[in-house]
Amino acid sequence: MQFPANIQQYCLNTGAKIDILTKKQRIDAFVSLGEYLLSDHIELQQAGKQAHHHNAWFTPSNIAKAFTTIGRSLSEPSLTNWLTPYSFDHETDKTVGLILAGNIPLVGFHDILCALCAGFNIEVKASANDPVLTTHLLDRLTEIEPRFSRKITVSERLKNFDLVIATGNDNSSRYFSYYFGQKPHIIRKNRNSAAVLTGRETQKDLQLLGNDIFDYFGLGCRSVSKLFIPQSYDISAFFEAIAQFSGIINHHKYANNYDYNKSIYLVNGDTHYDNGFLLVKSDQRMASPLAVVFVEEYGNPKTLTDRLTALAPQLQCIVSSELLPLTTPVVAPGQSQEPALDDYADGVNTLDFLAEHQ
Tens-level pLDDT at each residue, the chain (358 residues)? 334 444 444 444 544 446 789 999 999 999 999 999 999 999 999 999 999 999 999 999 999 999 999 999 999 999 999 999 999 998 999 999 999 999 999 999 999 999 999 999 999 999 999 999 999 999 999 999 999 999 999 999 999 999 999 998 878 888 888 888 899 999 998 999 999 999 999 999 999 999 999 999 999 999 999 999 999 899 999 999 999 999 999 999 999 999 999 999 999 999 999 999 999 999 999 999 999 999 999 999 999 999 999 999 999 999 999 988 888 999 999 999 999 999 999 999 999 999 999 9
The boundaries of every CATH 3.40.309.10 domain in the chain are 192-331
Instruction: Give the span between the Cα atoms of 81 and 83, in whole angstroms.
Output: 6
Query: pLDDT at position 177, please?
Result: 85
The boundaries of every CATH 3.40.605.10 domain in the chain are 7-189
Q: What is the pTM of this model?
A: 0.92
**Backbone phi, then psi, for 223, in 5-degree steps?**
-80, 135
Instruction: Give the span between the Cα atoms of 30 and 52, in whole angstroms.
Output: 24
DSSP secondary structure of 162-184: SEEEEE--HHHHHHHHHHHTTS-
Query: pLDDT at position 172, please?
Result: 82
Query: pLDDT at position 10, please?
Result: 45
Look up the CATH superfamily of 7-189.
Aldehyde Dehydrogenase; Chain A, domain 1 (3.40.605.10)
Instruction: Give the span between the Cα atoms of 124 and 164, in whole angstroms.
Output: 10
Look up the CATH superfamily of 192-331.
Aldehyde Dehydrogenase; Chain A, domain 2 (3.40.309.10)
Burial class for 251, CB neighbours closer than 10 Å (0-12, 13-18, 19+): middle
Query: pLDDT at position 18, please?
Result: 61
